[in-house]
Structures are given as C-alpha cells and as structure tokens.
Structure 1
Amino acid sequence: MSESSHRPSRALSPGQWSFTRWATIGHLEALVIQHPLFRATLFLQGAHLTHFAPSGESEWLWLSDTARFEPGRAIRGGIPVCWPWFGDPQRNPPEVRKRIHSDKAHGFARTALWKLEDVRENAHEIEISLSLDANEDFAEEWRGRALALLTFHFSVRGCQLALTTTNLSEEPLAFSQALHTYLPTPDITRTRVLGLGYSQYIDTLDNWEYKPQEGPVYFDGETDRIYESGEPLKIVTPGGSRRLTPVGSDSTVVWNPGPEKARALSDFPDSAWKTMLCVETANAAGDYRVLNNGQSHTLGVLIGRK
C-alpha cells in the first residue's frame, strides 16, 4: 500500500468507527463509507467494491443499473475479484487449468463470503482489509490451499487495491487472477486507453491470435483483449480521465461487450455498453504466477486522478 504520514488508527470494534457503517443492500452485507473527503461501498461477498468517489464528484466506477445483490450471484460492475483463475478455465495455462474442477469463468472469489480483518480510519484516509481462506470448502471447484488478503486504501487522491495471495499448500501453486475494474464513460466511441501502444495483445475474438497494438486503444464494437503489458495507463473519456497504476502485473485486459453481446449478458442493460469499459489489472495468459509453499504475490492497482 502507499506510504502516508497519516497512518490510519486501528479500530478495535465497529462502535469505534467514525466513517464506516454496516448496511444491508439487497440481500448482501456491505460496508458503507461516508468520509468528509470521499465515499465508498464495499461488499463482503466477493470483497467487491461497487462505489468510490471523492466528495462532490461523480462515481469513479461503473455499476449496472440492473445489478442484483444476491448471495452467490456476481455483481455486475465495480471491481469484481477474479481469483484463483481468470476467464474460461479451458483457456488457462495447463499448470493453472489442472487445479480447476469447474467450468465457471473467473474463479470463486467473486461470489465467496470474505472475512473482515481490519478497519483503520483517520481524518484523511481509510484502509479496510478482507481475507478469504481457500481451503477444503472449495475442493469441489479447485485443488489448492491459499490465503487471499485484499486491502483497500481510500483517500481524496483515489483508491488502491492490493490482493496478496499466499500459498499454504505443500506443493507449488499456479494461479491466474484479475482486478476486473469497470469504468464509466459518457461515450465509448470517444474513449481511448493510453499506455498500451507498441505492445502485443491476444485477440480473444479472433481465434486468440497475437496482434500488435499501435497507438491508443479505441472502441468500435466488441473488444476483448489480453495485453502483454503491465505499464501505467491513462483512460481518456469525454467526461475526464483517470490513471491506473498496476503493481505485480505484466498483463492488462481491455473489454467492452459491444451491442450484440450486451443483449446476452445478465444484469446488463442492452445499451449499457455505450457508457462503460473494463480495464483489468491482471496476471492472465502467459503472465500466470507460481508460488512455492509459504510464498506470496501481490497484485494491485491504484486508480487516481489524471
């Protein structure tokens, strides 16, 4: 996490929190943050951040108008956590794929119930940590034992996520993952992503062919690409711009469903593809990671101002 001279103080019980409150949204438990400088909403299911914005500003994250908040159902929008595998299990490298006993995309973390570990607050920032023990409870879906710790850091400057995976099994653990960030835009056709120029990407819509990227990424229909790059990015929209600074990542996924796929997606209005995009900080495709017993790896992203 980022260094700060205003280290949040540790809260021993919920009664001591000044800006963070429990809430039930739909059928799910959430932490709702109303800080003088910013606001955020974080669900225990999936460790899923759905809202963040400094005070007086519009939302920095995109959330579907038809998102549903139900046990066992992934929330459409915000920042879903894809872990301990990303995407279609069959499209993962063999070392990752051999551990997966499910045909579901994006792993089980985004619908699992995470445990609240810590809330730290002060007048300038808030830090919240959630954990998921991937133990025998998930044996029907995945073979492994690991601990995921996801720490959120909120301030007026932006929000930072740090997902640390620790291998608790005796054998090496191969996994893929992503912080599946949904971002808003007034017009996807006038939106571009800077920072991926001159890198290669896998075009999953064209038989997973490798292609070169020249200049900014523009959108003119369905887009689903895995870039071989972990460089800082700038997302430019008619409504403004954001910077995404990754940590522990050498792959970036850029996604927009386009009009046809949008009509087939659950909890997604037909025209919503025009007002969103996903730029995902990842360890995907050839960028999967392997940990020996006791080793850890942190995947993170800082979403900040231009």
Structure 2
Amino acid sequence: MPATVSADVHRLSGRWGRLDMHALGATVTSWAPGGVEQIFTCEDAEPSPGRMWHGGIPICAPWFGSGMGLDWEVPFRHGLVSRVAWQVVHSTSGDDGATIVLRTDARSTRHLAGSDRFPADLGYELRAEADARELALSLTITSPTQPTRIEAMFHPYLAVDVPTARLAGLGGIEYRDFSDGTEGVEVASLRVDGALDRVYAAAAPATVTDASGSLEVVPEGAATAVVWNPGIVDGRFAAGEGQRFLCMEFGNAAAGAVDLPAGGSHRLGIRLTRA
C-alpha cells in the first residue's frame, strides 16, 4: 500500500495501523497501531519553519535543552534539526508495517543561529519502522571531515493518563530535577504527581504504565535519560493537557555528549513496544 504524501506530512498505513511523519524536523506526529494513538500533540501545535512545537517525537540535535554538554552558550533550546524540513529518501508501506527514511544536513540549518559552531558537512539520517506492536527510530549523525562534539535526544510525547501513570526501569540511577533543583537516586517505580524535569546520569529501558496498558521504551546508543511533565498548571498548554502526556526521552546530553572524530558517526535509537 503506497504512502499518502502531502506537502508536509507523510502518512504510512495498513492493516497494522498508521504512522505520520512531518517533514519539519522528521517528527513522528502519530503512531497508531491497531488504531490506538500512542503519541500526544498539543491542541495549538502550528508546525512552521524555525520553530518547535509541543508534541510528537521531536529530534533534538546537535544540542539538547540549553546545551549542558557543550562549552558555549546556545542561542535557543533543543538544537537545529527540528526547525528545518527533512527530505524523504525511502518509503514503503504494507499490511504488516511501514518504513521511512529521511535525511538533512548542515546546509539546511546554516541560516540558524548556532549552526556555525558545527561542521558545514554534518549530516543526519533518520530511519523509522512501525508495525502493530513496535515503533523503532534510528538516528545516525555523521561528521565526514571535522571533529565535533554533539548532543542528540529523542523527545517522545507519550500519550499517557498521568494521574494513573507509573514509570519503572530507572530505579537506582542518579538524577537532577530541574523543576525544583533537587538531586537524588530514582526509586524503583516513579509516580508523576507534579511538575517533573529529571535528567538522569545513565539510560536504561523504561516502562510507562497507566490505566490503558503499558509501553516499553528501549534506548540504543544513549547515555542520558530525561523524564518531563509540566504539571497541572502551565501556560504553554491548554487546560488539562499536562495530564495527557509524559515525555520519556533518551539520548546523549550533559556528561553524555558525544565527541565525533573526523569521518566518525554516532547512532542513537529508541524502540517503543506495546505490551
């Protein structure tokens, strides 16, 4: 079954379900295996070049947040590649699943502040594979001719009923919570009962469980985990939206930033699996 392509959104579907990929930032905006949506996007999202929006699965690179693992002050949060359109180089869709591959490079981001801090030939490729049970994302960042330091994170907005949600798998890992400045070691099962912005010193498979079921998120090539929820009251979201998602993020940030040699590459992956 062919993919449906609009100016901005590539939709791949079959009996297994649906995957929507927005060209802006190569952002997954929907994964609905069996017709059940697993990804949240805020009601007032307005994707436009140069901006990010709350929702989907953004790619944060070549820096994350305020660039905690870099030695200079970044001009805005979460990097460059989410703010430009990526090109589709391969796409297939059938009754059993779908695959799409997109690419971009530093030429597409050179008009953005901060781009001059990175090699002019830095390249990015995202491969997404989806079926009725799993969504697998693989991001490869390559620096053909110059050494550089990068951060990269997948930033999934998981469609979760926060009041009934529990997060397991990060127990025993040290964290710093930027919502209140506290530091600690995570407990075996975390309940989200207020604003949360925890950056963890390591990455491990995590499972989010709520009243509707559970979703496992497994990282590959990641050294950092982040758990974020804005809490009940946050002016960036419509009333109640903060209770409808949880961000379970994996990648390489802060002390986990990656030093790429000239000619080197780094592969970062996450796999979302329905229980």
Q: For residues 71 and 26 of structure 2, what CA distance do their matches in structure 1 show?
A: 24
Contact 2:232-2:242 at 8 Å conserved across structures: yes
Match of 2:23 in 1: 44
Match of 2:265 in 1: 296
User: What does residue range 133-144 of structure 1 map to in structure 2 within 5 Å?
Assistant: 133-135=105-107, 137-138=110-111, 140-142=113-115, 143-144=117-118
Match of 1:181 in 2: 156
Displacement of 1:211 after TM fit?
1.2
Displacement of 1:138 after TM fit?
4.6
Q: For residues 228 and 176 of structure 1, what CA distance do their matches in structure 2 show?
A: 14
SS of the residue aligned with 1:201?
Answer: strand
SS of the residue aligned with 2:242?
Answer: helix
User: What does residue range 183-262 of structure 1 map to in structure 2 within 5 Å?
Assistant: 183-186=158-161, 188-207=162-181, 209-260=182-233, 262=234
Asked if 1:120 is matched to 2:92, the reply is yes
Contact 1:174-1:289 at 8 Å conserved across structures: yes
With structure 1 as the length reference, what TM-score do the two structures score? 0.84
Match of 1:156 in 2: 132
> Structure 2: 5+ residue runs without aligned partners?
none
Asked if 1:68 is matched to 2:39, the reply is no
Displacement of 1:75 after TM fit?
2.8
Q: Deviations over 1:26-73 (max 9, x none)?
A: xxx110112121101101111011001113x32011111221133333
Match of 1:77 in 2: 55
Q: For residues 145 and 177 of structure 2, what CA distance do their matches in structure 1 show?
A: 34
Q: Deviations over 1:166-215 (max 9, x none)?
A: 11242x211111100001123x12211100111111111233x5311122
Q: 2:123 aligns with which of 122, 144, 147?
A: 147
Contact 2:137-2:269 at 8 Å conserved across structures: yes
What letter matches 1:20 in structure 2?
Answer: A
Q: For residues 160 and 2 of structure 2, what CA distance do their matches in structure 1 show?
A: 29
Match of 2:2 in 1: 19
Displacement of 1:284 after TM fit?
1.5
User: What does residue range 255-294 of structure 1 map to in structure 2 within 5 Å?
Assistant: 255-260=228-233, 262-263=234-235, 265=236, 268-294=237-263
Q: Deviations over 1:121-163 (max 9, x none)?
A: 4442221111111147257422112111111011122111001
Q: Deviations over 1:242-275 (max 9, x none)?
A: 0111100121100000133x22x1xx21321111
Contact 1:19-1:35 at 8 Å conserved across structures: no
Q: For residues 203 and 156 of structure 2, what CA distance do their matches in structure 1 show?
A: 15
Q: For residues 69 and 107 of structure 1, what CA distance do their matches in structure 2 show?
A: 16
Match of 2:9 in 1: 30
Displacement of 1:116 after TM fit?
1.3
Displacement of 1:82 after TM fit?
0.5
Please identify the structure whose Cα radius of gyration is greater.
1
Contact 2:13-2:94 at 8 Å conserved across structures: no
Give the count of matched residue pairs.
271
How big is the alpha-carbon RMSD for the aligned residues of Structure 1 and Structure 2?
A: 1.7
SS of the residue aligned with 2:232?
Answer: helix
Mean Cα deviation higher: 70-79 or 236-245? 70-79
What letter matches 1:291 in structure 2?
Answer: L
Identity of aligned residues (%): 28
Mean Cα deviation higher: 69-78 or 225-234? 69-78
> Structure 1: 5+ residue runs without aligned partners?
1-17
What letter matches 1:198 in structure 2?
Answer: G
